[in-house]
Amino acid sequence: MDNVGFLALALAVLGGVIGFESRFARTDRRLARVERKLDLIMEHLDLREEYPRMDEVAALLREGKKIHAIKVYRDITGADLKEAKDAVDRLG
């Protein structure tokens, strides 16, 4: 009987974890959709997001410190690695 109770508890926990992961994934998709819409609105209004330390990123690029520039860009913007690398490539 203990094995059945343990199995039921394990299945309940597993079901709860799967439910939370599903909710997080759905929330991430909704957030990404909202960010895309905001980007489109800003583009339509010809607005640019200003970051105060972008001159530091440009200076690092001029010095040939691309990896450090990517790290600083990520710190400034919160971008993931691919986004930061692509943005720094566009700057350089």
pLDDT 10s digits, 39-67: 899 999 998 878 888 999 999 999 999 99
Q: Are residues 84 and 65 in the same domain?
A: yes
Token output for 52: 């105060």
Q: Are residues 70 and 82 in the same domain?
A: yes
pLDDT of residue 19: 81
Q: Which domain holds residue 68?
A: 50-92
In this prediction, residue 1 has a pLDDT band, given cuts at 50, 70 and 90, of: low
The answer to whether the CB of 91 falls within 8 A of the CB of 61 is yes
Q: Are residues 44 and 58 in the same domain?
A: no
pTM of the model as a whole? 0.53
Q: Which of 28, 4, 5, 8 is nearest to 16 (CA)?
A: 8
Q: Are residues 3 and 31 in the same domain?
A: yes
Domain total of the chain: 2
Token output for 43: 């583009």
Q: Are residues 37 and 74 in the same domain?
A: no
**What is the tens place of the pLDDT at every residue in 17-42?**
888 888 888 888 998 899 889 989 99
